Chains A and B, each alone.
Chain A
């Protein structure tokens, strides 16, 4: 079983949950530990309830699992909601003066901190947080120097007095814990590894920058806003033009305009914003202008549950924009892949001059993961496809923007080149861009142009690898998932093996093209297939069935707004192997 340790910090929004989270994350990653963090929160700026989980350990940790080893409730609500997640060996650090302890399970250490005795709470409103960080790290067996270093960095901008005050409070908490509380049985180890810790949104923004994005625009919408924030903050250093636009309709069209002018152009949104972008996506396809759109899925429909995760937009992506046209859709498997996928997506959309959709979700967008810095390669292959950037010979043939070719790809000219003026159009057009809608007879031209565009599909398929099964052949069960469920299924497979059930995993990264034939071949001899997804109706299961006629033996679906945990899958698989059901809907442990 992979060794891990989870810290849960909860409180009202505005109570300062994020800062302790950042401090723990920094200390864990500087010890060379992997970590994964997820924040369950409400759409509210102050008040409500927010619960941040950080799971760490020397092995790869890419999920949280709902089990908490150290709980830091910053208010009574958190104590009441989350104490039940603690088991043998876990501890709860709380303000003895404001929070009433609940009844813990057996083997849980309750650690009351006399906050006003240890710090001047009239001067420092978040003293309880800082004391708890100090106390927690003391119990984890982490030396104080590590905390002092991070606090110094954290408060550098606020001056030495603020640093000193926080360090001294943290020290008081550290010392109090070492005298009064029992240390954890498993001291936090150290390794030589060094990881970058980042969110999926930051990873996608950086991946875009590495892929050569020169124009980024967006309208703020959770959970995609982090992409805009990274881009805006780093725009000048990265030489990227970043614009906040009046609405998502403007966003996609502005991105298309920039792409047509010849730069790599990207935008991000969530389902509701994407709905507004659909029309523009069709323009990208018809005018054959490559553009990359990131959709960070949140729970819908409509405004839905703005701060909760779901994989409910797949069918919107498959059907986005009216008409029939080639598109590319891929779902990153984890936060590192959020970076890697961007350059691949841009290369494909540039080569095939069509829209590309990166289908992320809140779990990855706003979660954080330790990533090997090697993964963040700012020198990826950049393939801009068939592009005319200069006049070449002055006596070239008359330029035809939509020249009918075998591949369906017509060489694209960057506007500004002499001798190549032409019009691109959202209306159906002839090879030279002239609209055909006003002609008496145009069925032949329409058909030729439709076939030209659709020929790209074969090329797209050939340039994307088919999915592969991860894990042992002839497993008792094959779990199929797409996008963000990757790490959860991966860990579930490991837990199942420990329980004597062999399991393997088919993660789907490219949704369009799907490589249906290859998938059917892989699944043909599977003993039992179960599709895992974070939505109600089994959007991927339906899609797979429509493309291949393949019907899975079972389904695991969750649609309560929180992510799947590995043990949800383990329990469901056991239930299904026992023949009790073919549809499992795991119940989330706690209302956050």
Chain B
């Protein structure tokens, strides 16, 4: 009997449609991010069963339900450690982490910093709307000084955190900023982030059309400037990346701020993973090794 060679059909956008449609508010910035992620996976043709999308809690963290990959909707702020454990157990899979600014920079900030220090090979996309949406509009770690919210009705008196400069200082090996209103540009950033071996971070301006009346699409649009349009920007220059990350006002940079490829990712550095993904390794300890463990105690 002749063997029939089946050529797998190319994956198209429709293949990545989740079991349910997003329930985000009409006009929410997160739609643009979802489409950009799906587009990036289609363009890279990574089989969807080899992708895990892991999130925390919040509007944007419902993301894994809206895309057809292996998905995990975890706890508020805990997506990064869950994703780290997942990646360590099966580093053959592409692991995407998606969430919001409250989830990632508020409750999850400690995990965020340590994942970058570890250079875990994850792509972390934060849909940053500078407000808490699902809890109906309170101040977030990236809300601007003076912004009036339900939890700070007289205006925020706490400085916003700068996710890009934080990521740079914590040692992320790929740092970028995107804008939901520039989907094509964002798709390119995501593709590069997926392909980068190490921790990739993309802070995405993803306006909340319901609760944030300051940082709207209209507010961002004239301000965002692509670093890619500036031929002088050298993404291997950490100091230049840091300087550009701090520019905030009439001009705000989006694009690939920084990338280095000379550091091994955690899974590349870990000797135990040289024998292949843990999930595929034999669960039994070889008899001679087991004997040596007991002999040590005799």
Q: Footprint of B on A, CB under 8 Å?
A: 29, 194-198, 202, 206, 209-210, 212, 214-215, 217, 234-241, 243, 245-247, 249-251, 253-265, 279-280, 283, 287, 373, 376, 378-379, 382, 414-427, 432-435, 438
Contacts and interface: CB of A to CB of B under 8 A. Distances in A.
CB-CB nearest 8 A-B residue pairs: A257-B85, A212-B283, A423-B71, A378-B290, A261-B89, A254-B85, A258-B85, A196-B297
Interface in B248-298: 270-273, 275, 278-279, 281-285, 287, 289-290, 292-294, 297-298
A373 B68 CA distance: 50
Interface string B77-92: 0100111111111101
Given A243-B88, A250-B111, A261-B89, A379 B284 contact: yes
B110 A250 contact: yes
Contacts of B278: 214-215, 239, 241, 258, 261, 263
B130 to A, nearest CB: 24
Given A416-B49, A426-B74, A196 B294 contact: yes
A260 B81 contact: no
A214 B287 contact: no
Contact of B23 (A379, A419, A438): A438
Contact of A416 (B50, B78, B81, B287): B50
Contacts of B78: 249-250, 253, 279-280, 283
Given A196-B298, A416-B93, A423-B65, A239 B88 contact: no
A419 B279 CA distance: 19
Contacts of B68: 421
B38 interface: no
A197 B283 CA distance: 25
Given A246-B114, A257-B84, A424 B89 contact: no
A249 B272 contact: no
Contact of A238 (B52, B111, B114, B285): B285
A121 B110 CA distance: 50
26 contacts: A196-B297, A214-B281, A237-B292, A238-B293, A239-B272, A239-B278, A241-B278, A250-B78, A254-B81, A254-B85, A257-B82, A257-B86, A260-B82, A261-B85, A261-B87, A263-B278, A279-B75, A283-B75, A378-B287, A379-B290, A382-B284, A420-B49, A421-B48, A421-B68, A422-B70, A423-B19
Nearest to A29: B298
Given A217-B85, A246-B110, A416-B279, A260 B72 contact: yes
A378 B284 CA distance: 8
A380 to B, nearest CB: 10
B54 interface: yes
Nearest to A237: B289
Contacts of A243: 88
Given A249-B81, A253-B78, A415-B90, A422 B71 contact: yes
A262 B88 CA distance: 11
Listed residue (B47, B57, B87, B278) with the most chain A CB atoms within 10 angstroms of its CB: B278
A416 B277 CA distance: 12
B133 interface: no
Given A246-B114, A258-B88, A378-B290, A241 B298 contact: no
B60 interface: no
B14 interface: no
Interface of B: 18-20, 23, 47-50, 52-54, 57, 62, 64-65, 68-75, 78, 81-90, 92-93, 110-111, 114, 270-273, 275, 278-279, 281-285, 287, 289-290, 292-294, 297-298
B112 to A, nearest CB: 10
Contacts of A379: 284, 287, 290
Contacts of A427: 73
A250 B109 CA distance: 11
Given A194-B298, A214-B278, A261-B279, A245 B81 contact: yes
A265 B89 contact: yes
B82 to A, nearest CB: 4
B23 to A, nearest CB: 5
B65 A373 contact: no
A256 B85 contact: yes
A236 to B, nearest CB: 6
Nearest to B271: A236
Nearest to B62: A435
Given A197-B297, A241-B272, A260-B82, A417 B90 contact: no
A417 B92 CA distance: 12
A241 B271 CA distance: 9
* Among A202, A235, A239, A421: residue with most chain B CB under 10 A: A421
Given A214-B283, A238-B289, A239-B272, A434 B84 contact: no
Contacts of A258: 85-86, 88-89, 278
Contacts of B70: 415-416, 421-423
A263 B282 CA distance: 10
Contacts of B271: 236
A260 B111 CA distance: 19
A202 to B, nearest CB: 8
Given A416-B70, A421-B71, 18 more contacts: A209-B285, A236-B272, A241-B88, A241-B270, A245-B114, A247-B110, A249-B78, A256-B74, A258-B88, A261-B86, A416-B90, A417-B49, A421-B48, A421-B49, A421-B69, A422-B70, A434-B19, A435-B73
